[in-house]
Structure 1
């Protein structure tokens, strides 16, 4: 009976650790006009801060005053869109369905909008979690059969 309980505990643990599609590192393009705007520059890193929040950190370029980098907490989106405020400006953030591209859309100043393409994923992905889960399930089933 112990292997069945172990299997249930492992399944719940792994299932609860599914990675957010937002987590990873994204490389910005040059669509944000640095002559007019303060822009996210180069690598934008999105990591998990806690169960309800993500942390966004990125170098800045352009009209940013003395600010060289941004680090901010963002409420973890439940879908593929969210709104954040950078420099007091609202940005509609959209993650593509394949989770490879982020569009930063500034509706007030479109010249300050931009795009970033994923270049890495942080942490274990959902498919990796399920791979480990299946390995553990097969091992547990083999142990159950062996005990019978």
Structure 2
């Protein structure tokens, strides 16, 4: 097996073994369709509170009914988690490099809110 291939395989294994890091400050991705979706606005802050609970706080904009912000806490498992805000489930996904959060809801497959770590 060529040395380059072995090196790439080792780097890939090490990269996939790195743990996720949810905590941090993210900036809302402006590509979210505010005309028909509820989107992150400004900054999204995620704080870890022991042992494995996280608090998420963000302003929202667009079609969010009467909501102007999202605040909640949840236990996140690996790269996924969920919150329920005003009876609406919000599914969270962290990218494998821990740089982006994506939020979706089962009520709309086209509404995807994203934020990128600062």
Q: Same fold (TM over 0.5)?
A: yes
Larger radius of gyration: 1
| Distance in structure 1 (CA, Å) of the matches to 2:77 and 2:24 | 16
- Asked if residue 56 in structure 1 is aligned to residue 33 in structure 2, the reply is no
Matched residue, 1:113: 112
Structure 1: segments with no counterpart, 5+ residues: 1-18, 120-148
| Distance in structure 1 (CA, Å) of the matches to 2:86 and 2:110 | 15
Looking at secondary structure, tell me which structure has more helix per residue. Answer: 1
Q: Counterparts of 1:21-100 in structure 2 under 5 Å?
A: 21-75=21-75, 77-100=76-99
Instruction: Using the TM superposition, give the Cα deviation of residue 96 of structure 1 relative to its aligned residue in structure 2, in angstroms.
Output: 1.3
The 3 A distance-change label for structure 1 pair 86 and 40 is farther
Check whether the contact 1:92–1:105 (CA below 8 A) recurs between aligned residues: yes
The 3 A distance-change label for structure 1 pair 67 and 52 is same
Q: Secondary structure at the match of 2:110?
A: helix
Please identify runs of 4+ aligned residues in structure 1 that moved more than 6 A: none
| Distance in structure 2 (CA, Å) of the matches to 1:47 and 1:97 | 18
TM-score, structure 1 normalization: 0.57
Matched residue, 2:3: none
Matched residue, 1:101: 100
Looking at secondary structure, tell me which structure has more strand per residue. Answer: 2
TM-score, structure 2 normalization: 0.69
Check whether the contact 1:53–1:74 (CA below 8 A) recurs between aligned residues: yes
Instruction: Using the TM superposition, give the Cα deviation of residue 65 of structure 1 relative to its aligned residue in structure 2, in angstroms.
Output: 4.1
